[in-house]
Amino acid sequence: MPPVDDLRGFLAVLKENGQLLEFDETVQPEPDLGSAGRAVSTVGGEAAPALLFNSIAGFHDARVALNVHGSWRNHALMLGLPAESTVKVQFDTLRTRWQKFPVPVDRRGEAPWQEITVRGDDINLFEQLPVFRLNPGDAGPYIDKSAVITRDSADSDNFGKENVGLYRLQVKGPRKLGIQAAAPHDFQRHVSSASKLKEGLPVAIAIGNDPIIMLAASTPLDYDQSEYEMAGAWRDGVPYPVATAPLTGLTVPWGSEIVLEGEVHYEDREFEGPFGEFTGHYSGGRMLPTITIQRIHTRKNPILEALYLGIPWTEIDYLIALNTSVPIFEQLHDAFPEVKAVNAMYTHGLVTIVSTSIRHGGFGRVVGLRALTIPHGIGYSKIVIVVDETVDPFNLEQVMWALSTKFNPEFDAITIPRMYEVPLDPSSLPTGITTRMVMDATTPRPPDERGSADPEVTSFPDAERWESIIKDALA
């Protein structure tokens, strides 16, 4: 089945597979939408459906979609896999398709989001979009699931450096947004370039997209790797459809429901937040840049897509699970071909589990330390657990067994103080600084002789034959 080019196409796929719940009765922006976003993860777990609300109080024709990525079933359907596909199968699919990168984009002319355009002072984001407060302690309504597109002003013709990122946007006024990014993010490099040239930074914000571009937008790619060309790879080689935003000239998804265009004010910093974040905690307030919106383009009867964030697991955890794990795997594997798999599904990789074969004694900790210095590891990878290649890092029972029996805190815990990390981790002190820890739970190898008198339990080769017998008996 070819990949879908827009959100409506994917909602149809979800519906065909029993993964979409539609609500036609009118709901209140608050507290209904945020409450439903929380509840669907609690009730549905790994099989939770997406939600589509067709009537929002006070709006004529607004619609809101939630939890589009919010279960392993939805995630599998996004990849064109059977809904029941295991996490490991989905990891391997993304890893295999990664090899097709880069896939040139499919640049198209007219886009569906060009149906309606509102300009300048006629814009009122609160009235034209059904934005809402997601959690009680949030500063106000946020646009929390969009593709934010900017260029490097110092190298504006470099398509690879045109960034598509997922950043939270506080709706602060009729035409005003606040935007949050951290120091290692590509957006911050673009702000720095604009600041040096003393130019405003054009920005496009695409809302309500096909699911693959949101997966790519929230993937920690290298600075000059194009999210659009990665989306093509993850569409199994089918070029990603894009169009040109008329005011800014930025490249935006062809299939979006809503496209905003405007300018980032690189010199301004203004109080933003708090907002309930992917850490499962409210962020503190920060001084952050602002954006003025100059155009809103929408389809007729557009769908505002939003993302629920709360105490894990919620939709955000599914969205940034495997697209965090795969690039860390690729970057580690480039350095050490012994690395077999990476599970960085916990809070965007603040805890990362790596399985690897071992060259020699002490090798596990070498691999673990490397995970701290790859691009994503600089801001995340607070705790890295390294296990043998025989341990599946997605199987937490196996990982806990390795930690229980192969890890001696006196010898196998490495701590490095005063490291940078994403400021949103509430345990950091000062904000954005933490100690890192590598836990080497691989089996000691010579010349480290620990445990050599107590080898792992083996089983009779006949156990495999008995597996078949028992499976047949159970069938």
Partner 1 sequence: MSAILCPRCRSTAVSEVAYSPVPDVWSMSSCSMCWYAWRSTEGPSARDPEQYPKEFRLSAGDLTSAPTTV
- Give the residues lining the site for partner 1 (CB under 8 A): 28-31, 57-60, 124, 126-127, 133, 136-137, 139-141, 170-174, 178, 180-183, 185, 187-188, 191, 269-272, 274, 284-289, 423, 431-432
100 burial level (CB within 10 Å; 0-12, 13-18, 19+): middle
Residue with smaller CB distance to partner 1, 63 or 172: 172
The nearest distance, CB 122 to partner 1, in angstroms, is 13
Nearer to partner 1, 19 or 170 (CB): 170
Contact 49, 291 (CB under 8 A): no
Q: CB 150 → partner 1: shortest distance, Å?
A: 13
For strands 146-150 and 163-165, give the pairing: antiparallel
Strands 433-440 and 303-306: unpaired
In the block, tokens 């989306």 appear at 231
Q: At its nearest, how many Å lie between partner 1 and the CB of residue 451?
A: 44
DSSP character string of 224-243: TS-HHHHHHHHTTTPPPEEE
Cβ 192 vs Cβ 256: under 8 Å: no
DSSP reduced 3-state for 165: strand
Pick the closer one to partner 1 by CB: 72 or 142. Answer: 142
| Min dist. Cβ of residue 201 to partner 1 (A) | 12
- 277 as an active site residue: the answer is yes
Give the single-character DSSP code of 154. G
Q: What is the dihedral of CA 219, 222, 224, 230, to 10 degrees?
A: -40
We find the least distance from the C-beta atom of residue 304 to partner 1, in angstroms, to be: 14
Which of 28/415 has CB closer to partner 1? 28
75, two tokens: 């995630």
User: Closest by alpha carbon to 68, among 271, 314, 285?
Assistant: 314
Please check whether residue 184 is in contact with residue 160, taking contact to mean a CB–CB distance below 8 angstroms. no
CA-to-CA distance for 44 and 66, rounded, in angstroms?
13
Catalytic residue among 227, 229, 261, 277: 277
* Cβ closest to partner 1, residue 121 vs residue 157: 121
Tell me which residues are annotated as active site.
277
